[in-house]
Amino acid sequence: MSDIVVGDLVIRKSHGGDILFKVTDIWVDESGQQQITLKGLHLRLLADAPATDLEKVDADKLECITGAMKEKSERFLRRAMERQSLEEERRRMMRSESSKKYTTFEIPGRVLHIDGDEDYLKMCLKTYNQLNIEAVGRWIDEEKQSGQLLALLKEFHPDILVVTGHDALIGGGKKSFKDINNYRTSKYFIKSVQIAREYQASLDDLVIFAGACQSYFEAILAAGANFASSPNRIFIHAYDPVFIAEKVAFTPVGKTVNVTDAINASVTGAEGVGGIESRGKFRLGMPKSPY
């Protein structure tokens, strides 16, 4: 038996140590081999691997990997904040002379973020706050999300819904990308989107992002999502849903979100996320009350 325990950080030797994982479960298969269930530390991926394929991460390698991922995340965060500043300045310059005597206030779109990963949810809520987006989050296992979604929608009435967590293609050999049974959790995301669309059918009144790593992109969009993962069945970053939501939240309500701009705002890009034209959720008001 290996010395790996739940909570350890590991890499897969067979994959060249390309992804950092956290051990979430240890079990024994029918052949008596010890198997480990893993979740990506920065990528929304679930995986199983034999214990013999895993290697614990030492402090130096952990610092190297987490440092690189943190730098990448912060770079995209800075880019989003800079874009917001430029848009604010542009709106100020375009105001008429008569309206410039009034102070204004801004109302970005409000987000309901449902996540199958507690750690990721905390990270995302912190990022929403840094981006000045009002967001409510709930940690719910993927298979239970659809059962609790309707009550949450009725309680919070969000402009933007994010339904995410972990996912992965499963099974060995040649896989059919059109078989829902070849995905770990895509069917749960699809069910959640369907329920959300029964609640609010308009693609503009409720903008939905759904999916995680390697999710069934086409089926999630067909269920009624505005944005989804993963067109090329690649891994997506933990913050990809946040940066897509930010773009929707700060696009003026009178305009449609430029899909290319939204995709470029994500960490992963067009191979990992995609979507359709949708109306923005940002509203500008005046005058700003002094109270």
Q: 2 lies in a domain? A: no
Q: Is the dihedral of CA 233, 83, 120, 114 positive or negative?
A: negative
Same domain, 35 and 81: no
Q: 291 lies in a domain? A: no
Q: 121 lies in a domain? A: yes
**Phi and psi at residue 146, to the nearest 5°:** -65, -30
Tell me the residue type at 228.
Answer: A
By residue range, what is the domain housing residue 86?
Answer: 65-285
Same domain, 184 and 271: yes
Same domain, 101 and 185: yes
| Cβ neighbour number for residue 211 with a 10 Å cutoff | 34
pLDDT above 90 (res 137): yes
Contacts with 59 (C-beta within 8 Å, 6 or more apart), sequence order: none
pLDDT above 60 (res 90): yes
What does the pLDDT read at residue 189? 98
pLDDT above 90 (res 66): no
Same domain, 182 and 243: yes
What does the pLDDT read at residue 89? 75
What does the pLDDT read at residue 70? 72
Same domain, 42 and 161: no
Per-residue pLDDT reduced to its tens digit, 190-218: 999 999 999 999 999 999 999 999 999 99
Same domain, 99 and 237: yes
What does the pLDDT read at residue 98? 55
* Domain count along the chain: 2
Please tell me the least confidently modeled range out of 132-136, 146-150, 207-211, 266-270: 266-270
Per-residue pLDDT reduced to its tens digit, 232-250: 999 999 899 999 999 999 9
Which pLDDT band holds residue 253 (cuts at 50, 70, 90)?
A: very high
92/9: higher pLDDT = 9
Q: 177 lies in a domain? A: yes
Q: Where do we find the tokens 């059109």?
A: 178
Pairwise CA distance, residues 166 & 175, whole Å = 19
Same domain, 79 and 162: yes
Same domain, 22 and 156: no
CA distances (Å), origin 12, targets 19, 21, 148, 214, 220: 8, 8, 35, 18, 29
The pTM is what? 0.86
pLDDT above 60 (res 172): no
Same domain, 16 and 111: no
Q: 203 lies in a domain? A: yes
Same domain, 191 and 85: yes
Same domain, 261 and 146: yes
In DSSP notation, 216-255 reads -HHHHHHHT-SEES-TT----BTTHHHHHHHHHHTSBTTS
Per-residue pLDDT reduced to its tens digit, 15-64: 777 788 888 888 888 887 888 888 887 778 888 888 888 888 777 777 77
Same domain, 270 and 129: yes
Q: 160: domain CATH number?
A: 3.40.50.10090
Q: 1 lies in a domain? A: no
